[in-house]
Structure 1
Amino acid sequence: MKEDKQLLVLTHLSQLLDFVTGIGGFIVPLVLWLTKKDEIIGMDLHGKAILNFRISMFIYILICIPLIIFFGLGIIGLIVIGFFYLIFPIINAIKASNDEAPSYPFSITFIK
């Protein structure tokens, strides 16, 4: 196993591809995690944190959709989720470059 902080940083930042491609922000980290988790120190931890965050946010989006129709509160929820999608990958990329563990709030642990 080898250390590659740059790849860990890029894995976190690759989530921002959603703003360009729509789904690349899930596919790219998934592929990087699956292919490099046994080769790069920390990739397993960071990859799982990213995927748990992404799956959790998707569930929260699904919850917000009916709330738009019924209460209008879903719009506020979607704005908050959009903010999370933008800010937390950047924060965790900085953490990865400083050898810190990733921290994605409101993540449900699906992948242990």
Structure 2
Amino acid sequence: MTTDEKNWGMYCHLAAFAGLLIPFGNVIGPLVIWLLKKDEYPHVDMEGKESLNFQITVSIAVMVAGALSVVLIGIPLLIAIVVFTLIFIIKAIMETNEGRSYRYPYNLRLIK
């Protein structure tokens, strides 16, 4: 695996932080990188799908927790989702930076 391929795989996970700047950027960022580089690098294809699936899963969880915040249980759920998402993304970035693949726990694998 080349350094370029390893870096683009890491960027797939790093792009999820775009959600801090724009709505649904956490999905759009990994999607753009995956679409641009999936045919060029097999590792990026695998990491891009993994990151994209995780960000879709997180988006669904945030919407459900947001709806549950009306009855106040959603607020602690939102906090937990944010904390665990940050931990998993940082772990994925570190793993892919070393050239290893990362599989998120609790991930709906919608894109195969």
Report if aligned partners of 1:96, 1:102 keep a CA contact under 8 Å in 2. yes
Count of residues in correspondence between the two structures: 111
The one-letter code matched in structure 2 to 1:84 is F
Q: What corresponds to 1:88 in structure 2?
A: 88
Identity %: 34
Q: Which residue of 1 is the match for residue 65 of structure 2?
A: 64
Q: 2:12, 2:29 within 8 Å by CA — same for their partners in 1?
A: yes
TM-score, L = length of structure 1:
0.87
Q: CA deviation at 1:95?
A: 0.8
CA shift digits 1:37-93 (9 cap, x unpaired): 1101311110111111011111111211232112x1111110011113322121101
Q: Could you say what secondary structure the match of 1:21 adopts?
A: coil
Aligned: 1:47 with 2:51: no
TM superposition outliers: structure 1 runs of 4+ over 2 Å: 20-25
Q: What is the one-letter code of the residue matched to 1:110?
A: L
Partner in structure 2 of residue 79 of structure 1: 79
Structure 2 segments unaligned to the other structure (5+ residues): none
Partner residue in 2 for 1:16: 17
TM-score by length of 2: 0.87
- One-letter amino acid of the structure 2 residue matched with residue 61 of structure 1: V
Aligned to 1:98: 98
Given that 2:39 and 2:45 are in contact with CA atoms closer than 8 Å, whether structure 1 keeps it comes out as yes
The answer (yes or no) to whether the contact 1:16–1:85 under 8 Å persists in 2 is no
CA separation in 1, counterparts of 2:74 and 2:86? 18
- Letter of the structure 2 residue corresponding to residue 77 of structure 1: L
1:18–1:59 Cα change, 3 Å: same
1:108 aligns with 108
Structure-2 residue corresponding to 1:34: 35
8 Å contact kept, 2:11–2:33 = no
Supply the RMSD in Å over aligned alpha carbons: 1.8
Q: Give yes or no for contact 1:56–1:107 (8 Å, CA) kept in 2.
A: yes
